[in-house]
Structure 1
Amino acid sequence: MKILTFSTLFPNTEKPGHGIFVETRLRHLVASGQVESRVVAPIGWFPSKHPRFGDYARLAKVPKSEVRHGLQVEHPRFPVIPKVGMNVAPFLLAQAARPRIARLLDEGYDFDLIDAHYFYPDGVAAAMLARWFNKPLVITARGSDITLLPQYALPRRMITWAAKRADAVITVCNALREEVIALGVPGERVTSLRNGVDLQLFRPGERTPNTSFTLLTVGHLVPVKAQELIIAALPLLPDARLVVAGDGPNRGMLESLARELKVETRVQFLGAVPQAQLREHYNNADALVLASSREGWANVLLESMACGTPVVASRVYGTPEVVAAPEAGVLMRERSPQGVADAVDALRKNYPERAATRRYAEGFSWDDTSAGQLRLFGEVLARRAAHPDAQGVVVGSER
């Protein structure tokens, strides 16, 4: 089976952690030996590589083509237009990718279907491309593309159009599946396939008991991750310290908050940490804390559990599906500093054996996810073969 994976959420030489969950799922699928893939991961165009332009300049340095873990990745450029860009992004994205995809076909890579990730603008653009190239389409919903963007009228209409046009929709948790169905997509067309965890990369290691209870939080320092709730909980947890792995625009605010609350000596900011190095931090922590306001399927939760470290997490979207047993960790009763502190205290009172936490994570390998994809893709292709003129036909079921 030949597929074309399409998404702006894909790692590159300048941002190796960007959209790594898309790359990881694809790597495991290809490792099955039953799928070949080429990746088209468009990059926003910017005219200068000068360092003063920050992330824009970094993206300008991304090569037009690269190979990652044996996967051929194309990076066509699409224009980013301030203020109006949100509404026209799907069209610009599709127009930019179309020539590169046509070239892949000319070179002999006649793919069987388009495997798109993130509904807006990526999934909408993929629906346009599927029409142009007359290919079946599967779109994966991953989080804010369904929980946030449909709040805007035009994106909602385009997301709904793309979802109904797709031959199948995948969601990374059942909570997102219900959100997609609420948009008017028939339930029999929406399949829930959760993310897995790399049990070889994330595994228990040697650790020295901490002198103070060590909390770890991993993620971009952006409003949706709400690391400020964890820092604000520290005065309520006088014998705990916090390690923050990640970087982003909220870092200055978080550092100021730590000073204001006089807990700066108990907060360590690591900056961005490569995924391969996260294992050490998971192993050294006593608990991972995630206080997000939105999460589709938070991979960091399973990564921590796979290292034997239980978690404390907010009760949002797919997270209760991840933290579903005492050995996994504790869900907050409320998203507040007090809610964080109470959940940490509850975990400490009934702290699970780290081996039990690891065993729980072992139930989330990528094997089931890859098998589900293969099954669904096969159904899509069989249905299209039987009805070659059909688009957006009903395939698949909840799994």
Structure 2
Amino acid sequence: MVPRPAPAGFRRARVGRGSVRLAAVGSGRSSIPLERAPARDAQLRDPALGAAGPRVLGPPLRVFDAERVRILTFTSLYPSSVRPRHGVFIQERISQLARHTGHTVQVVAPVPYFPPLRWTHRWELTQVPRLERLSGLEVHHPRYFMTPKVGMFSYGWLMYRGTRRLVTELHRRAPFDLIDAHYVFPDGYAALRIGKDLGLPVVLSARGTDIHTYPRLRSIRGILRRCLTQADRLIAVSAALKRQMCELGAAADRVDVIPNGVDALKFHPWCRTAARERLGVPSGPVLLSAGNLTRNKGFDILIRAMQELRRSFPGISLVILGEGPARGELEALIQRLELQGVAMLRGAQDQATLPLWYSAADLFCLASAQEGCPNVILESISCGTPVVASRAGGIPEIVDSGSVGILAERTTPDFIRAISLGLGRVWDRASIAETASARGWDRVSEALVRTFDAALQSRNEARRGRDAAGGGRRR
């Protein structure tokens, strides 16, 4: 392959079949003005924002004056036309990366193979197309064989076997420069095997569940350690997650903490009264929670807290957004405690509606047992809504001062205490929204570029070392 010419002023680092050096060296702000979001409904605007529309938090977009790089994003947790909300936070990150840097991103999102039987609960997976275009990115959905809940230690190998042919062919047509994999296992294992086959550096992003859960399984713990030590670079979404990764064997100097970002053009304050009218939310105090309906999220803690809170705060209601396996248990708990109409499960919501929900709430509450860097808290803060949350994972790194929320122990009595304090306090919602400026996607993208650059450089240095050692032996 004829190497692509390096732009003037940049060094080139040879890596695998291609040769490239990433660099985030923009010499200033973009000269292209950033358009504001179009007005949707004048009555929904928060008056504090003025007539011009939502604030654009953070500095304008940076221009990365570097050669375009081809990145393969490899993850099984990614949306499809069949499951549009599955892994939407990863889609957001790489879409924003492509937008802010101009680099080419191609996605391989493996899907477990299931026979096309309509009576199975996995029927929808058989309808995921093999190839589609989502948010401007080409997304491939190869199938791989797996046995649910059996032989979990083999999931990484099976994913590798089911995807390597496709990735090899894509690389042959237009060589990649780097693999960006999400979830250390099984996705990271498969990505590392493919990276070894193709001579590509691999950056693994840990998201939380992979580091919180898999180390408890003896059959997977050793595999997880190898993945953490073999990756060219690692990304943790919180400092707490980085500490756990290092305890499992990752070298601290190869782990970069890059929290999730938030798009202030999507998530910004709206007029609370108008938002409630649009959503049909009661006029009393409103608590909001959201996420995958699992036991780990602690929605039962919030529901039980409503028994006491409704006596202290007449007209209070709890709205829970999301779907998941624990929905039946939560519905039964609401009925058993006779909280119908007080605690409500409103199902999954699309991205366009979420800002209205955040703006309609007095407090956003999250009682999770484990978290990485929860997007729902970032989105709530960006909409100006204060947070009451547990101290799980990276949450204290977001709710790091009393100006944006209150931290609580993961018990019903302590959440009652914290929620009562939150409802009795006058919050500066404009200042809360302003704190999201430090977590804009332009800054996240710049940090990602630095990490990818470090991975490419370390691979290049290792290659030079091997070449030098080989030359010495020949002499």
TM-score, normalized by length of structure 2?
Answer: 0.79
| Contact preservation (8 Å) 1:236, 1:338 | no
For residue 12 of structure 1, the aligned residue among 80, 101, 123 is 80
Is the partner of 2:124 in helix, strand or coil? helix
Which segment drifts farther, 243-252 or 4-13?
243-252
How many residue pairs get matched? 387
**Aligned twin of 1:397:** none
**Aligned twin of 1:381:** 456
| Contact preservation (8 Å) 2:289, 2:364 | yes
Matches within 5 A, 1:298-377: 298-332=374-408, 334-377=409-452
1:87 maps onto 2:87 in alignment: no
| Contact preservation (8 Å) 1:289, 1:312 | yes
Hey, what's the Cα distance between the residues in 2 that align with 1:33 and 1:186? Answer: 28
How far the C-alpha of 1:306 sits from its partner, in A, is: 0.9
**Aligned twin of 1:119:** 184
Q: 1:337 is matched by which residue type in structure 2?
A: T
| Contact preservation (8 Å) 2:306, 2:343 | no
Q: Compared with structure 1, are the counterparts of its residues 137 and 390 closer, same or farther at alpha carbon in structure 2 (3 Å cutoff)?
A: farther
| Contact preservation (8 Å) 1:384, 1:390 | no
**Aligned twin of 1:395:** none
How far the C-alpha of 1:84 sits from its partner, in A, is: 2.5
Matches within 5 A, 1:59-98: 59-98=125-164
Hey, what's the Cα distance between the residues in 2 that align with 1:390 and 1:368? Answer: 33
| Contact preservation (8 Å) 1:327, 1:360 | no
| Contact preservation (8 Å) 1:202, 1:303 | yes
How far the C-alpha of 1:390 sits from its partner, in A, is: 7.6
Hey, what's the Cα distance between the residues in 2 that align with 1:60 and 1:178? Answer: 38
Is the partner of 1:264 in helix, strand or coil? coil
How far the C-alpha of 1:369 sits from its partner, in A, is: 1.3
Hey, what's the Cα distance between the residues in 2 that align with 1:27 and 1:78? Answer: 25
**Aligned twin of 2:100:** 32
Q: 1:307 is matched by which residue type in structure 2?
A: C
Counting aligned pairs with the same residue, the percent is 36
Gaps of 5+ in 2: 1-68, 277-281, 467-475
Hey, what's the Cα distance between the residues in 1 that align with 2:284 and 2:175? Answer: 57
**Aligned twin of 2:217:** 152
Hey, what's the Cα distance between the residues in 2 that align with 1:100 and 1:343? Answer: 51
Gaps of 5+ in 1: 392-399
How far the C-alpha of 1:98 sits from its partner, in A, is: 0.3
| Contact preservation (8 Å) 2:179, 2:202 | yes
CA RMSD across the alignment: 1.5
Is the partner of 1:237 in helix, strand or coil? helix
**Aligned twin of 1:396:** none
TM-score, normalized by length of structure 1?
Answer: 0.94
**Aligned twin of 1:101:** 167
**Aligned twin of 1:230:** 302
How far the C-alpha of 1:83 sits from its partner, in A, is: 4.0
Hey, what's the Cα distance between the residues in 1 that align with 2:416 and 2:170? Answer: 53
Q: 1:358 is matched by which residue type in structure 2?
A: A
**Aligned twin of 2:333:** 257
Spell out, residue by residue over 1:210-251, the C-alpha distance to the aligned partner (whole angstroms, 9 max, x if none).
631100111111111110100000011012210111111211
| Contact preservation (8 Å) 2:362, 2:423 | no
How far the C-alpha of 1:65 sits from its partner, in A, is: 0.6
| Contact preservation (8 Å) 1:136, 1:381 | yes
